[in-house]
Structure 1
Amino acid sequence: MKILVCVKQVPDTNEVKIDPVKGTLIREGVPSILNPDDANALEAALAIKDTEPNVTVSVLTMGPPQASEMLRECLAMGADDAYLLSDRAFGGADTWSTSNTLAAGIRKIGDLDIIFAGRQAIDGDTAQVGSQTAQRLDVPVVTYVQDIELQGDKVIVQRQMEDGYELIEVATPCLLTAVKELNEPRYMSISNIVNACKKEITVWGHEDINLSPENCGLKASPTQVFRSFTPASKGKGEMLNGTVKEMSTSLISKLKGLHVI
């Protein structure tokens, strides 16, 4: 069985700051991490590798050359191979363009049984790339997966809902997007860290995956972000004290004073 995990290197959102003049992200000095939901997706693949015979796990990402550092972390967690789609032509991609590029890379790898991805990336929060990639590959997709069970050439998954879950049977090949409730990602082991440093990461540009510059990156992106900004901080909250009746009377009086009611 061949499993592929789509991963992404993202800025640590706890450290992200926005230029107040330009309205753009300040990336200098901001550490990059493996997207959390993608870590859950990778753990799901590695858990299958631990229990099933003849399973190989590969990881794929689209990004700049420094994304190879994140791929080596994935190798150190237990992945067998890593692929990096890196080309200036891929820059500025929205979800439509990103999914097109990932799908082209996946086709080149070929013969996959299960493709995993995280539910969404913490830098964009769109939760669109996984589904769009599956559509381009013409394979079934199940999103928000919180549990997985293999049954021959089929996969039984629990799809997380707000008030419960759906039990879905899907044939392979398929694409599954993972939520954090699916598992607890493992740590890198010393032996895997040593081996990861020795492994070669396959790097492909747009020509390697037979993708023209017009069909990737900014040129193929119908959605463009013009400005990012931090919402203005709200005023300090006010605590009311007293009995329920006293607090209710005070609240009504304050809301009337603000012309809310």
Structure 2
Amino acid sequence: MHTVTLTKGVPDFREGQVSFDEDGHLERGNTPTVMNPNDKHALRTALQTKVRHGGRLSVMSMGPPGYGDVLGEAMESVYADELYLLSDRELAASDTWATAITIATGLQKLDETPDLVFAGFKTADGETGHTGPQACWCLDWPIITHVIALDVNEDEGTVRAKRLVEGDIEEIETVKAPMPAFVVADPEFEPTYRTAGDRLTLKDLRAETRERAKNHEEHLTTWDHADLNLDPDYIGLDGSPTIVSSVDPIPKAPAEREATMVNPGDEDGMNEVFDAMAAHAGGER
């Protein structure tokens, strides 16, 4: 069994250092990057599947070379066997459609067709939730969204899932689809390892992957648009029908506190510190 998890690096908005070019496009190479938080739900779903059914697990992303570190983090999280990065300048400034074309092509280039592809339900920078479903559409595979529980029948070649109906936690439906298929994990998904065998497998995979993740570059394959045989007119900015009319930079949060430096040897200064602390503690010195 072969599964693939899609992940993405997103700007670390906490840093307040998001960089845009003069046309309003995000400069990912000059912006601190972290793993998309919602992808972690997909990673947990993929890990549960690997623990229960074994097989090979890959992680794939599209982005600049620095995304290799995001993939390394994903390898350690999901105990992946191999990593794939789709990266070159021709892919820069892709919208969700151009990204989906690239990812679908990357999935087709793998030496073994995945049985399942896991995706997060949206990204922190775009919030569209388009890329996973669009990549699935390119491949003409079934897709199950808002998944909160998952089981695979390898003999039948099917996946059975419980999903929230339109994201409503109060309404759940059970669906079944043939593989290969896409699975979009919901934040409500909680992995379960009921048997002792599953828990022992999880422990063994964790120890094995920690060693592999130390040198994740050795397990990283990078493909550019030429490797994927992609026409530059259909990828990157030229292949993106989305038009960005304007971008408002994210300002740094204003400082709300002032700091006063006090030398411990300054008796009067330290008395002022104790007086201020006592007032908040409701006690006396």
TM range (shorter): 0.7 to 0.9
Structure 2 residue corresponding to 1:155, chosen from 152, 155, 159: 159
Counterparts of 1:19 and 1:10, CA distance in 2 = 12
Other-structure match for 2:9:
9
1:238-260 CA-partner distances (Å, limit 9, x unpaired): xxxxxxxxxxxxxxxxxxxxxxx
Alignment partner for residue 209 of structure 1, among 222, 228, 238?
A: 228
Match of 1:227 among 235, 246, 252: 246
Question: 8 Å contact 1:141–1:175 — kept in the other structure?
Answer: yes
Could you list the runs of 5+ residues in structure 1 that have no partner in the other structure? Answer: 233-261
1:36-55 → structure 2 map (5 Å cutoff):
36-53=37-54, 55=55
Return the alpha-carbon distance in structure 1 between the equivalents of residues 90 and 31 of structure 2: 24
Cα distance in 1 between the residues matched to 2:149 and 2:104? 25
Question: Which of 102, 126, 129 is the equivalent residue of 1:127?
Answer: 129
Which residue in the other structure is 1:192 paired with? 209
The equivalent of 2:94 in structure 1 is: 93
* Counterparts in 2 of 1:157 and 1:125: CA distance versus 1, 3 Å: same
CA shift at 1:156, angstroms?
Answer: 1.1
Q: Does 1:80 align with 2:81?
A: yes
* 1:135 Cα deviation from its structure 2 partner: 0.5
Per-residue Cα deviation, 1:48-107 (whole angstroms, up to 9, x for no partner): 111214x11000000000000011112222011100000101001001100000001000
RMSD of Structure 2 on Structure 1 (CA): 2.8
Task: Measure the CA separation in 2 of the matches of 1:14 and 1:164.
Answer: 35
Decide whether aligned partners of structure 1 residues 85 and 193 sit closer, same or farther in structure 2, where only a CA change above 3 A counts. same
- Which residue number in structure 2 is paired with residue 176 of structure 1? 183
Task: Tell me what 2:262 maps to.
Answer: none
Aligned mates of 2:16, 2:250 — CA distance in 1: 14
TM-aligned CA deviation for residue 179 of structure 1:
1.6
Task: Show the counterpart of 1:66.
Answer: 66
How many residues align? The count is 230
- Once the two structures are superposed, residues 198-222 of structure 1 have per-residue CA deviations (whole angstroms, 9 ceiling, x without a partner) of 3331000011111111111000000
The code of the aligned residue for 1:46 comes to: L
**Structure 2 gap segments, 5+ residues each:** 193-201, 252-285
Partner of 2:105: 104
Flag the 1:32–1:168 CA change in 2: closer, same or farther, 3 A: same
Measured in 2, the distance between the counterparts of 1:168 and 1:138 equals: 18
Inter-partner Cα distance in structure 1 for 2:48 and 2:42: 10
Corresponding residue for residue 141 of structure 1: 143
Tell me the distance in 1 between the aligned counterparts of 2:232 and 2:15: 33
Q: Percent identity, please.
A: 33
User: Whole-Å Cα distance in 2 between the matches of residues 27 and 115 of structure 1?
Assistant: 25
Displacement over 6 Å in runs of 4+? 22-29
Relative to the length of structure 2, the TM-score reads: 0.73
Provide closer, same or farther for how the CA distance between residues 14 and 208 of structure 1 changes in structure 2, counting only shifts above 3 A.
same
